[in-house]
């Protein structure tokens, strides 16, 4: 009896350690180097090239190509500068870097020798071809909802693309994270495999939306908050997630911080073109739009919008009064630095410069996305309908931490917006995180703080 409870205690301890450790390997997005501008997105032509009728199983391959777009496989499995699907993109985790694998049909370094069973096992169970667990940086917790026919179609497509021989670098994970068996502990606690099961009480369209959003689209991997063990917080689906240097906003019906005031048409337009009359897709969402949602058909985008619009509102929080001094100073900075594009009344310019009035993204409780954008600047997503990306300049060198805090507080509390004031400490922290706290001189005279 004693021995048994000791064994159980030990097992729980090991599981807990494994869980904490593996939580640390959840990715917060592609690796970013300080002072290197964000990846310049180009439209992934290859993903849109028509599949020739001469291809064996052309229909299946065509479907697979479409599903690979839905799964956004290209964003993670393409190295900086290409070629498409050759893997080796470094994904940042708090403790080290995990590299994605080569999905081209190269026999040695890619999926050339993979059987449909093994491919399905990777997506459905998070088990790699050699039978060892895959780190949850690969979103198998969502891909497990994908059905077998869709998995087979994706593999059939990937086998038709040109093979690229490219071994991936070894993951840079410290002990004990480098032991893959730890992932088993995490899976035991948090991962439930299983294909999507339709809800008969809902419409066919709603169910299609749920399948796409919770399966291949893996929208919750960014938009659902995680607990400290890296698992979804219960009852908070799509309440908004922290991506370290950015925020994936609330997608629920909340009228202030969520999509309460967006119509299904607004959501479809945003996902298809990267812009609408309310917002522009920036940050990690620009990759998602360019490589995935802009290449989906209108029917599926509409299904996604119908499902998203049905998410119950996150609780509304009360906001403390903000300092009148910060508002006064913020107003002046805004009129100098921002109003030329976003206009004095915050209305923006239709589908070019996003409006800041009643803008959900900038009212998130966590201002990280806003601060990242003001400090580093931004570039909207190029899409087939709107191929030219628009840029917002970086203000890291033009404005001090105090000025950025003030202008942020001002726009968060003007024109019908309401959100907590932003502190100078939050700005300083983000500046440091982005490596923008040191001026790197290009003339060789050295760095200065």
Using CB under 6 A as the binding rule, the residues of this chain from 173 to 192 that contact ligand HEC are: none
> Which one of residues 19, 86, 253, 411 is an interface residue with ligand HEC (CB under 6 A)?
411
CA dihedral 164, 166, 172, 178 (to 10 degrees): 80
427 binds ligand HEC (CB under 6 A): no
Any contact of residue 215 with ligand HEC (CB under 6 A)?
A: no
**Segment 234 to 253, residues that bind ligand HEC, using CB under 6 A:** 243, 246, 248-249, 251
Using CB under 6 A as the binding criterion, the count of chain residues that bind ligand HEC stands at 77
Q: How far is the CB of 429 from ligand HEC (least distance, A)?
A: 18
Long-range contacts, 339-344 (Cβ 8 Å, 24+): 341/392
* 210 makes contact with ligand HEC (CB under 6 A): no
Residue closer to ligand HEC by CB (options 41, 374) is 374
Work out whether 104 is an interface residue with ligand HEC (CB under 6 A).
no
Dihedrals phi, psi of 156, to nearest 5 degrees: -60, -40
Whether residue 295 contacts residue 69, with contact meaning beta carbons closer than 8 Å, is answered with yes
Residues 6+ apart with CB under 8 A from 122: 128, 129, 134, 138, 140
Exposed e or buried b per residue across 201-238, where buried means at least 16 C-beta atoms within 10 angstroms of its C-beta: eeeebbbbbbbbbbbbbbbbbbbbbbeebbbbeeebbb
What's the closest the beta carbon of residue 235 comes to ligand HEC, in angstroms?
20
Tell me the closest approach of the beta carbon of residue 445 to ligand HEC, in angstroms.
Answer: 29
Q: Closest CB to ligand HEC among 127 and 449?
A: 127
Q: Residue 32 interacts with ligand HEC (CB under 6 A)?
A: no
- Is 283 among the residues that bind ligand HEC (CB under 6 A)? yes
Q: Which residues contact 130 (CB under 8 A, 6 or more apart)?
A: none
Question: What span, in angstroms and rounded, lies between the C-alpha atoms of 44 and 42?
Answer: 6
Binding segment for ligand HEC among 187-195, 197-205, 284-292, 309-317 (CB under 6 A)? 284-292
By beta-carbon proximity to ligand HEC, the closer residue of 66 and 135 is 135
- How near is the Cβ of 180 to ligand HEC at its closest, in Å? 7
CB 438 within 8 A of CB 447: yes
- For residues 272 and 442, which CB has a smaller minimum distance to ligand HEC in the complex? 272
Residue ranges in 358-387 that form contacts with ligand HEC under rule CB under 6 A: 359-362, 369-370, 373-374, 378-380
d(C-alpha 36, C-alpha 398), whole Å: 18
Q: Return the number of the residue (13 or 307) whose C-beta is nearest ligand HEC.
A: 307
Q: Where are the alpha helices (DSSP H) in 191-231?
A: 204-214, 220-223
Q: Which residues pair with 99 in a beta bridge?
A: 90
Complex with ligand HEC: residue 68 or 436, whichever CB lies closer: 68
Nearest to 366 by CA among 219, 245, 218, 279: 245
43 near ligand HEC, rule: CB under 6 A: no
Q: Are 304 and 313 in contact (CB under 8 A)?
A: no
Nearer Cβ to ligand HEC (281/295): 281
């Amino acid at each position: 009896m004693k021995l048994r409870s000791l064994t159980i205690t030990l097992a729980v301890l090991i599981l807990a350690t494994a869980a904490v450790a593996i939580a640390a390997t959840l990715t917060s997005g592609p690796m970013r180097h300080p002072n290197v501008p964000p990846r310049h997105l180009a439209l992934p032509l290859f993903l849109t090239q028509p599949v020739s009728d001469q291809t064996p199983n052309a229909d299946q391959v065509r479907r697979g190509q479409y599903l690979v777009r839905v799964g956004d496989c290209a964003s993670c499995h393409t190295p900086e500068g290409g070629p498409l699907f050759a893997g080796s993109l470094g994904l940042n985790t708090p403790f080290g870097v995990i590299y994605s694998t080569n999905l081209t049909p190269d026999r040695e370094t890619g999926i050339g020798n993979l059987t449909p069973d093994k491919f399905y096992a990777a997506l459905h169970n998070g088990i790699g071809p050699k039978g060892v667990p895959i780190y949850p940086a690969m979103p198998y917790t969502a891909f497990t909802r994908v059905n077998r026919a869709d998995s087979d179609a994706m593999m059939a497509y990937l086998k038709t693309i040109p093979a690229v021989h490219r071994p991936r670098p070894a993951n840079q994970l410290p002990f004990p994270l480098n032991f893959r068996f730890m992932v088993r502990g995490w899976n035991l606690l948090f991962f439930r495999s299983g294909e999507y099961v339709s809800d008969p009480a809902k419409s066919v369209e709603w169910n299609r939306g749920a399948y796409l959003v919770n399966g291949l689209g893996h929208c919750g991997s960014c938009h659902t908050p995680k607990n400290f063990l890296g698992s979804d917080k219960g009852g908070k689906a799509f309440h908004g997630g922290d991506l370290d240097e950015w925020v994936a906003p609330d997608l629920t019906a909340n009228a202030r911080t969520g999509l309460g005031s967006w119509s299904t048409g607004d959501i479809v337009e945003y996902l298809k073109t990267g812009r609408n009359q309310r917002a522009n897709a920036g940050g990690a969402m620009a990759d998602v739009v360019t490589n995935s949602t802009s290449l989906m058909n209108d029917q599926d985008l509409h299904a996604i919008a119908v499902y998203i619009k049905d998410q119950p509102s996150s609780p509304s929080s009360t906001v403390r009064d903000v300092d009148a001094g910060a508002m006064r100073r913020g107003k002046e900075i805004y009129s100098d630095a921002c109003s030329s594009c976003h206009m004095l009344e915050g209305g923006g310019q239709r589908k070019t410069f996003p409006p800041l009035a009643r803008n959900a993204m900038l009212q998130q409780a966590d201002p990280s996305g806003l601060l990242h954008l003001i400090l580093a600047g931004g570039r909207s997503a190029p899409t087939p309908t709107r191929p030219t990306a628009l840029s917002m300049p970086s203000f890291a060198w033009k404005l001090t931490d105090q000025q950025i805090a003030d202008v942020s507080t001002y726009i968060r509390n003007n024109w019908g917006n309401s959100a907590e004031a932003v502190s100078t400490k939050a700005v300083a922290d983000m500046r440091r995180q982005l490596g923008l706290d040191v001026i790197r001189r290009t003339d060789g005279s050295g760095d200065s703080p």
